Amino acid sequence: MLRVGRFVVKLESSQKSLQLSSRCLATAAQTKPKEDAQKVENQSFTMNIFRGQIQTNQIFPYANVLNEEQKETLQMLVDPVYKFFEEVNDPAKNDSLAQVAEESMKGCWDLGLFGLQVPQDLGGLGLNNTQYARLVEIVGANDLGVGITLGAHQSIGFKGILLFGTPEQKAKYLPRVTSGEFAAFCLTEPSSGSDAGSIKSRAVKSADGKHYILNGSKIWISNGGFAEIMTVFAQTPVVDPKTGKTKDKVTAFIVERSFGGVSSGPPENKMGIKASNTTEVYYEDVPIPVENVLGGEGNGFKVAMNILNNGRFGMAAALSGTMKYAIKKAVDHATTRIQFGKRIDSFGTIQEKIARMAMLQYVTESMAYNISGNMDTGSVDYHLEAAISKCFASESAWFVVDEAIQILGGMGFMKSTGLERVLRDLRIFRIFEGTNDILRLFVALTGIQYAGAHLRELQKAFKNPAANLGLIFSEASKRAIRSVGLSSPPSFSQLVHPELASSAALVSKSVDTFGQVVEMMLIKYGKNVVDEQFLLNRLANAAMDSYAMIVVLSRATSALNNKLPTAEYEKELTQAWCAEASERVAANLKIIGSGKHLDTFGKLSTIAKTICEKEGLVQPNPLGF
């Protein structure tokens, strides 16, 4: 079973108290008591749709976070970065060299691209997430191989030092990673990919207590061949203060290659992002000074997760740039290519492709800047949106580049056109930084757990109604509104531009049904909901579509309110997107709610099991005898 451990443990521990309350509020997915955490209202839109509620605080107004000075700084950087990619960097050359060419690497260091978010007094450019996203978008439009070299360095390589480093660690390491020394993020191991908590590398304290001695090995480490400074995750024996027993827990360390005992394998031969360096890294009795523990002993798993959470929006930003590049190529071709006596852009088939490509790019870009804006204004509730943006961006970019190749026809298939390389580069984005499959489960189960915790609070409140009238009334009124089909709070409809009112109504309806279906799942499956992956995937898809709808509603509203020249166009993109996305939400939720497909899912499961038991396809005679 997929080890999404926390759900199993928490749901089992709460199983004893499973019951339906007098007001038929099921409390199936209860968590370990974490009273304080549960009382804090999560600000995430996505988290709240699991309760059937529309939380708009992080959605409206759209990404309006840069002040004049920040905009000016950004503009000063955008032009030279564009110029660098136009004039210096050659993605085809990097791809064929299977490394970033020397002049490109030097250009990136000279432009400060390796230290975009490091404070200026420590050698970086001191950009916020929104400024970072804008520059990363340019990188993604030009060379994903360079993007990974940059991203592995700062989006994950030394991000832990930025987020969790002590002042001393920051002062020691950040000036180095902005002035020529590469960083890497070392988590994955041969037996530990998606199940990140199961790593086997181990570090134990030396007899004098001054060092940890690290042993183990890592695989598929971007920048692994030349990184000098690494964030390495390893098991360490930690004493549980409650039981006094010693247990292995993951700890994060800052490891320098110069500590000794660190070596790297040869560069991997990959399908794409060939320009980036990927290697195994081995640690043999590496002495790590105790002051190089990052984020506290035993806290490494959370350090790793938070680094990944924090960096995921960068992929959406980068891939939004990639999509822009591919759409431009497709449109250049479609508007000049004549077939059957007409320009091919006049054919409905091509129009549909171009429109869909544009919608996916618009949604991805809107997600990236919504998340970066929230992070810049101090939100800590962006993890689900970040995971969604990574899945959405990687799948959309794949679709868009594939369709661009289709529009270009035979020309698209030629290496010289440049799209073949981009398609190869893109494939890994659905796999690394958390596979899209794992992230879908993460979104669905985290949301369900949140909804379950709220239902439990409510059930508790009913035990002493007099003391909890506020909570009971507010929940009861939300449910009453829901039952008459008006689930969106008035503030939501007021926030959306009137010309988008009918699209907003589709979001309300989707979220309303979403909440009901989650409640039904909690009642029906209880703790076993963790095993319902066929359903969880569909729930995650509905969550992705719901977030995608609201984020473009916010952006198009802003365009209409500000009378931007693109406002009408954005309105149409948004209306078309919401119309189709809400239908997908309804279809996915219907599958879960109706239970009709359970039989088919059961059959799919049996087919797969049969094939796996036989260690290969069951091969009926193709001619039927």
Which are the catalytic amino acids?
433
Considering only 52, 91, 147, 515, the residue that binds ligand MYA (CB under 6 A) is 147
Give the binding range for ligand MYA (CB under 6 A) out of 342-350, 433-441, 493-501, 592-600. 433-441
User: Please, which residue, 318 or 549, has the CB nearer to ligand MYA?
Assistant: 318
Cα distance between residue 419 and residue 429, in whole Å: 16
Considering only 107, 298, 314, 373, the residue that binds ligand MYA (CB under 6 A) is 314
5 binds ligand MYA (CB under 6 A): yes
User: Please, which residue, 31 or 541, has the CB nearer to ligand MYA?
Assistant: 31
Residue 202 CA to its chain's centroid (Å): 28
Query: Min. distance of Cβ 222 from ligand MYA in angstroms?
Result: 5
Separation of first and last alpha carbons in the chain = 38
User: Please, which residue, 302 or 590, has the CB nearer to ligand MYA?
Assistant: 302
Query: Min. distance of Cβ 371 from ligand MYA in angstroms?
Result: 13
Matching residue, tokens 């969604």: 388
User: Please, which residue, 270 or 597, has the CB nearer to ligand MYA?
Assistant: 270
Q: How many amino acids of this chain bind ligand MYA (CB under 6 A)?
A: 37
Contact between 407 and 333 (Cβ < 8 Å): yes
> How is 290-324 classified by DSSP, letter by letter?
GGGEESSTT-HHHHHHHHHHHHHHHHHHHHHHHHH
User: Please, which residue, 412 or 452, has the CB nearer to ligand MYA?
Assistant: 452
Considering only 111, 438, 471, 598, the residue that binds ligand MYA (CB under 6 A) is 438
Contact between 368 and 317 (Cβ < 8 Å): yes
User: Please, which residue, 142 or 508, has the CB nearer to ligand MYA?
Assistant: 142
Give the binding range for ligand MYA (CB under 6 A) out of 95-103, 312-320, 561-569, 573-581. 312-320
Query: Dihedral sign, CA of 553, 557, 558, 560?
Result: positive
Q: Classify residue 192 by burial, with Cβ atoms within 10 Å: 0-12, 13-18, 19+.
A: middle
Query: Min. distance of Cβ 618 from ligand MYA in angstroms?
Result: 31
> How is 270-289 classified by DSSP, letter by letter?
-SS-TTS-EEEEEEEEEEEE
Is omega for the bond preceding 289 within 30 degrees of 0, making it cis? no
Considering only 27, 94, 155, 292, the residue that binds ligand MYA (CB under 6 A) is 155
Give the binding range for ligand MYA (CB under 6 A) out of 183-191, 368-376, 593-601, 602-610. 183-191
Region of 505 on the Ramachandran plot (φ > 0 left; ψ -120 to 50 alpha; else beta): alpha
Query: Min. distance of Cβ 314 from ligand MYA in angstroms?
Result: 4
Q: Output the six-digit token pair for 475.
A: 């929940």
Instruction: Please give the residues from 356 up to 385 whose contact with ligand MYA meets the rule CB under 6 A.
Output: 383
309 binds ligand MYA (CB under 6 A): yes
264 binds ligand MYA (CB under 6 A): no
CA angle 130, 136, 140 (to 5 degrees): 140
506 binds ligand MYA (CB under 6 A): no
308 binds ligand MYA (CB under 6 A): yes
Cα distance between residue 540 and residue 5, in whole Å: 18
User: How much is the CA Rg of the chain, to the nearest whole Å?
Assistant: 25
Query: Min. distance of Cβ 350 from ligand MYA in angstroms?
Result: 30
- Contacts by 501-504 with C-beta closer than 8 Å and gap 24+? 502/575, 503/549, 503/553, 503/574, 503/575, 503/578, 503/579, 504/553
Q: What is the DSSP letter of 267?
A: P
305 binds ligand MYA (CB under 6 A): yes
281 binds ligand MYA (CB under 6 A): no
User: Please, which residue, 316 or 551, has the CB nearer to ligand MYA?
Assistant: 316
Q: Output the six-digit token pair for 287.
A: 């002495």
326 binds ligand MYA (CB under 6 A): no
288 binds ligand MYA (CB under 6 A): no
Binding site for ligand MYA (CB under 6 A): 3-6, 136, 139, 147-148, 150-152, 155-156, 185, 187-188, 194-197, 222, 301-302, 305-306, 308-309, 311, 314-315, 318, 383, 432-434, 438, 442
